[in-house]
A and B are shown apart, each in its own frame.
Chain A
Amino acid sequence: MKQKADVLQGTLALMVLKTLDVLGPLHGYGIARRIEQISGDLLAVNQGTLYPVLLKLEQEGAIASAWGASENNRRARFYRLTRDGRKQLQAETKDWEQTAAIIARFFEAKAENLS
């Protein structure tokens, strides 16, 4: 159970980074919307879980935050990717693609190919 949460958190962090990379500075709600649009039900409920992840990333220095005005002109916290965060994203994207490729090949493999 704990492991699953970790995996979720890890992927969530990667999604956050990618979102900010593509769309530029965004507030928490904007990030949540974007992830929801792309990933479907992963964040359909419990959008709140996003905030601890944002905080963790900020503490690690991957993202930075500042106050700004939201669409309905209220104070909102805007997050943006830092240089460290961009590097981290690149590294993790590469890792992720490698892992995905390995797993994919593993699933494609048939018994006769392994002998």
Chain B
Amino acid sequence: MKSLRRFLTRLFNTATMRAQEERLREEIAEHIALQTAENLRAGLSSVEARRQAMLKFGGVEAMKQDFRAERSLLFIENLLGDLRNAGRSISRMPGLAAVIILSLAIGIGVNTTIFSWIQMILFQPMPAVHGAANFLMVEPRSETGGYPGASWLEYRDLQTQVPALRDIVASQMVPFNVGRPGQTERTHGQLVSGNYFSALGLKPVVGRFIRPEEAERPGTEPVIVISYDYWQTRFRGAPEAVGQKLRVNDRDLIVIGVAPREFQGTMVPLKFELWAPATMAPALLGGTRDIEDRGSRAFSLIGMLKPGATPQEAQAEFSTAMAQLARDYPDASAGIGGEILPFWSTPRGPQRLLISGLVILQGVMLLLLLAVCGNTANLMLARGSTRQREMAVRVALGAGRWRIVSLVLSENMLLALLGAGLGAAFAVWGTTALRIAPMIGAFPILFPTRVDAFTLVFAILLGTACGLIFSAAPAVHLARLDPQDGLRSSSNTPPRSRARKVLMGVEVGLAMVVLIAAALFLQSFRLASQSDPRFRPDGVLLAAYDLSGRNPDEASDREFAARLLERLRSLPDVEAAAIATNVPVDLHGIPHRSFTLQGRVRTEPGQDRAISNTVTPGYFKVMAIPLLEGNDFAEMRDKAAPAQAIVNEEFVRRYLDGADAIGHRIQTRTQSFAIIAVARNSAYDALGEPAQPAIYFSYRDRPQDQGEIHLRTRSGNETALTSEARAVLRDLDPMLPLYDVRTFSQHIERNLYLRRIPARMFAVLGPLLLGLAAIGIYAVVSYAVARRTREIGVRLAFGATSGRVVLQIICENLGGITWGAAIGWVLALVISLRLIAKGAVNFPVFIGVPAILLCVAALACWIPARRASRIDPMAALRHE
């Protein structure tokens, strides 16, 4: 207690230093005055009386020191002094400080932005939901490795059969058409189990949430919860929104509550606006049997572990439950097991894909930051050496090693933390830029990234780590300083500069790795965005429709598509029209399908797989993909022709060994198809990808209730077709909206968006890093040259040409740089061979980048060397 009290008083005293000092001064004066008066009374002369009094009191300064040490916390006082000192010395080098702070800020800002993204996916995957990262995916898993989802009845069984999980939540993503006939609007929502909101721990902003009993019996409770954004935009945030009717999929639903502000559903980054009880599925989805049919696996399940339970227990219970279900309902559940997955590795959505890309990006950017640290260390070391004498004086006057180290450290830490602060500001800007990313694909996507306390801590830790890294070399260097040496040596003796050369090499090596990574990425990005997709995207308009709310069957789906195509083809500006289930180069990819090819014997285990797309006749004309053999699919209303399939060249090469494909039969799980034509290869998942085998099925054989309309315009202005296409669809069905209307070029552009972010980062950071490396080398060389002014003067006086001097300086410095560059180059080569190219070396990059880097390095050496060689020998010899 007593020591705590003293500590607090001392802390307080540190703050009120000046007043205390004044008090002590006064007390001493009074003490001595009283003693002098006493001595006078004893008969001493006035001068002697005062002298004796002073003697008796003892050393005033030593006492003051004691007093100060007693009074306040010495280390805080020292720290404040150091910081003041650091501030002063930083303000003496504004240019250098600006370079250091800015480069650190960029490095830290980029890293923090990427980290905020990663931590969003890993730790805060659902905004507004506390502890969202603790949720687990409860995924039924088929024998072939797919995740088909769970049926509603299965969900009801699992709720009680996996006791290690509490509150398993079921949700199904559904498109809703909201509004009156003729002016419907497509919105995405989720059909959810009754415990959805309570299990997520959410509180309604207004109204209430769905009650468990409202998701018990089919179709009884026409209620709906709306998102905060939807409430703000459609109801202007009025509390009266609760209780109003909303026309959804041609049914009136009553708004009962508003979800919390940030909440966007359980499939982030997808952003949902509406939530209805799962038992409304038959009413909203046109008589779907989703909630009574065990074969309809439409729901995705998540659950949280009970306290004390482990994922292994949950996995064991889940597997047992699924095995039991497979025995009880062999029709629907045979061969379906189960897997408990961490939330971020959900098989739906782009998380899994993103996280691996982001981790690599983070790794590269951390290397970049390390290179920046190396650069800063070098600059500080060069500067530190010019302060040798100052430090020597300090040591000579009694400063301990630790005082010197803490002096250097505080200066560097101040720089690093300023950099981290600015970096955090950059990160705030960067994450905001990510948030306002445009909608990608048919689904509304919002990345809920933000800079929160966690991210800020990361930025500060990063700053501290940087500070420590680039303080180490200068601090050790100065602390080892022998004061005698430091004072004696004039600045003309060349110091040992191995540390600097090594650092320079390390920095250049790191820069090499990062620059090569950047160049490789940029090149692949450019190749991808410029590569020929082998179909013609310009002049094509895309738009989607969805009949799933119409209670469709195969015949009505087929008839609708046939009529739609007839009407569209009759438009004067339409050259060709087709419908397909998938659009190439989509962010979500195109499904692969397994099949068996008649007459082919597989040598390895597993199944043959190919890209599959279901298209109407005319598709190849719209896409401008030539058919190399055979003819297009039979007309939509043709009832006579057998089931048909068209394959691509790669399919023929891989599975038929280039033999004549036409006439072969493809067997899928349900149907058999005859190959009638071979199409040229084109891009499917991404531009510039290696050729993939693909099968096209006909819409006639496999009608779908959803479709992407492809229209090729005659005039070249595809956007002009939008209103005509809308009118056609409205004529056919006034309640059906045309959504996700975009040109094919826009579609491709949108899907390149995610790759464009790192591409932009690299495009900006690459040159920046090159510039930093140049500044670092320049500073070191010009410092080293300045220290050798006399030596250079002697050489010149003895007749050396300035060219020779310049050459010698460049060669000396380029040695270390070349070593570093070579090591970095080899490292980058190994990484690229192992990870990316798998055998192929990108020669332009691996030769170009080192060439540029070494040229810049040579230039950075040349400028100071040339300046040094131009001095007048006489002036150099007189120097100092």
A-B interaction: yes
A-to-B contact residues, CB < 8 Å: 27-29, 32-33, 44-49, 51-52, 55-56, 59-61, 70-72, 74-77
Residue of B whose beta carbon sits closest to that of A88? B2
7 smallest beta-carbon distances between A and B, as pairs: A46-B58, A48-B63, A29-B34, A48-B58, A52-B70, A52-B66, A59-B9
Please tell me if the beta carbons of A70 and B30 are within 8 angstroms of each other in the complex: yes
- Listed by A's residue number, 11 A-B pairs whose Cβ atoms lie within 8 Å are A27-B34, A29-B31, A45-B56, A47-B56, A48-B63, A49-B66, A52-B69, A56-B6, A59-B6, A74-B33, A75-B30
Please tell me if the beta carbons of A60 and B6 are within 8 angstroms of each other in the complex: yes
Binds A, one of B21-29, B414-422, B697-705: B21-29
B119 interface hit (Cβ, 8 Å): no
B640 interface hit (Cβ, 8 Å): no
Residue of A whose beta carbon sits closest to that of B67? A52
Identify A29's interface contact among B9, B30, B71, CB under 8 A.
B30
Write the B443-473 contact mask toward A (1 if CB under 8 angstroms, else 0).
0000000000000000000000000000000
User: How far apart sit A93 and B10, CA to CA, in the bound complex (Å)?
Assistant: 27
Q: Which residues of A contact B58 (CB under 8 A)?
A: 45-49
Please tell me if the beta carbons of A47 and B31 are within 8 angstroms of each other in the complex: yes
Q: Which residues of B contact A75 (CB under 8 A)?
A: 26, 30
A37 → B minimal CB distance (Å): 12
**Contact A77:B37 (CB < 8 A) given known A45-B58, A49-B66, A52-B70:** no
User: How far apart sit A51 and B69, CA to CA, in the bound complex (Å)?
Assistant: 12
Identify B70's interface contact among A47, A55, A61, CB under 8 A.
A55
Residue of A whose beta carbon sits closest to that of B53? A47
Please tell me if the beta carbons of B5 and A51 are within 8 angstroms of each other in the complex: no
Residue of A whose beta carbon sits closest to that of B69? A52
Q: Which residues of A contact B800 (CB under 8 A)?
A: none
User: How far apart sit A52 and B2, CA to CA, in the bound complex (Å)?
Assistant: 17
Please tell me if the beta carbons of B27 and A51 are within 8 angstroms of each other in the complex: yes
Identify A71's interface contact among B34, B57, B59, CB under 8 A.
B34
Choose among A33, A51, A56, A70 the residue with the greatest number of B CB atoms under 10 Å from its CB: A51
User: How far apart sit A77 and B30, CA to CA, in the bound complex (Å)?
Assistant: 9
Choose among A48, A61, A70 the residue with the greatest number of B CB atoms under 10 Å from its CB: A48
Q: Which residues of A contact B31 (CB under 8 A)?
A: 27-29, 32, 47
B-to-A contact residues, CB < 8 Å: 2, 5-6, 9-10, 23-24, 26-28, 30-31, 33-35, 37-38, 55-60, 62-63, 66-67, 69-71
Q: Which residues of A contact B38 (CB under 8 A)?
A: 33
Please tell me if the beta carbons of A76 and B6 are within 8 angstroms of each other in the complex: no
User: How far apart sit A28 and B35, CA to CA, in the bound complex (Å)?
Assistant: 11
Identify A52's interface contact among B5, B59, B63, CB under 8 A.
B63
User: How far apart sit A51 and B66, CA to CA, in the bound complex (Å)?
Assistant: 9
B403 → A minimal CB distance (Å): 21
User: How far apart sit A55 and B71, CA to CA, in the bound complex (Å)?
Assistant: 7
Residue of B whose beta carbon sits closest to that of A43? B56
Q: Which residues of B contact A70 (CB under 8 A)?
A: 30, 34
Q: Which residues of A contact B10 (CB under 8 A)?
A: 59
Please tell me if the beta carbons of A48 and B59 are within 8 angstroms of each other in the complex: yes
Please tell me if the beta carbons of B63 and A51 are within 8 angstroms of each other in the complex: yes
B17 → A minimal CB distance (Å): 13
Choose among B37, B55, B63 the residue with the greatest number of A CB atoms under 10 Å from its CB: B63
Please tell me if the beta carbons of A49 and B63 are within 8 angstroms of each other in the complex: yes
Please tell me if the beta carbons of A51 and B30 are within 8 angstroms of each other in the complex: no
Please tell me if the beta carbons of B34 and A60 are within 8 angstroms of each other in the complex: no
User: How far apart sit A52 and B70, CA to CA, in the bound complex (Å)?
Assistant: 6
**Contact A44:B56 (CB < 8 A) given known A49-B63, A77-B23:** yes
Please tell me if the beta carbons of A72 and B63 are within 8 angstroms of each other in the complex: no
A2 → B minimal CB distance (Å): 13
Q: Which residues of B contact A47 (CB under 8 A)?
A: 31, 35, 56-58
Q: Which residues of A contact B71 (CB under 8 A)?
A: 55, 59
Residue of A whose beta carbon sits closest to that of B68? A52
A54 → B minimal CB distance (Å): 9
Q: Which residues of B contact A60 (CB under 8 A)?
A: 2, 5-6
Please tell me if the beta carbons of A51 and B67 are within 8 angstroms of each other in the complex: yes
Q: Which residues of B contact A32 (CB under 8 A)?
A: 31
Residue of B whose beta carbon sits closest to that of A56? B70
A62 → B minimal CB distance (Å): 9
Please tell me if the beta carbons of A48 and B27 are within 8 angstroms of each other in the complex: no
Q: Which residues of A contact B23 (CB under 8 A)?
A: 77
User: How far apart sit A74 and B38, CA to CA, in the bound complex (Å)?
Assistant: 15
User: How far apart sit A27 and B35, CA to CA, in the bound complex (Å)?
Assistant: 12
User: How far apart sit A44 and B57, CA to CA, in the bound complex (Å)?
Assistant: 9
A16 → B minimal CB distance (Å): 14
User: How far apart sit A77 and B23, CA to CA, in the bound complex (Å)?
Assistant: 9
User: How far apart sit A28 and B55, CA to CA, in the bound complex (Å)?
Assistant: 16
Q: Which residues of A contact B70 (CB under 8 A)?
A: 52, 55-56, 59
B72 → A minimal CB distance (Å): 10
Q: Which residues of B contact A76 (CB under 8 A)?
A: 27, 30, 34
Please tell me if the beta carbons of A28 and B27 are within 8 angstroms of each other in the complex: yes
Q: Which residues of B contact A77 (CB under 8 A)?
A: 23, 26-27, 30
Residue of A whose beta carbon sits closest to that of B20? A55
Identify B57's interface contact among A33, A48, A52, A56, CB under 8 A.
A48
User: How far apart sit A17 and B62, CA to CA, in the bound complex (Å)?
Assistant: 24
Q: Which residues of A contact B28 (CB under 8 A)?
A: 48, 51
Residue of B whose beta carbon sits closest to that of A61? B5
B641 → A minimal CB distance (Å): 101
User: How far apart sit A71 and B71, CA to CA, in the bound complex (Å)?
Assistant: 28
Extra pairs beyond A48-B28, A48-B62, A74-B30 (6, CB < 8 Å):
A46-B59, A47-B56, A55-B71, A60-B2, A72-B34, A77-B23
A7 → B minimal CB distance (Å): 16
User: How far apart sit A51 and B62, CA to CA, in the bound complex (Å)?
Assistant: 12
B711 → A minimal CB distance (Å): 86
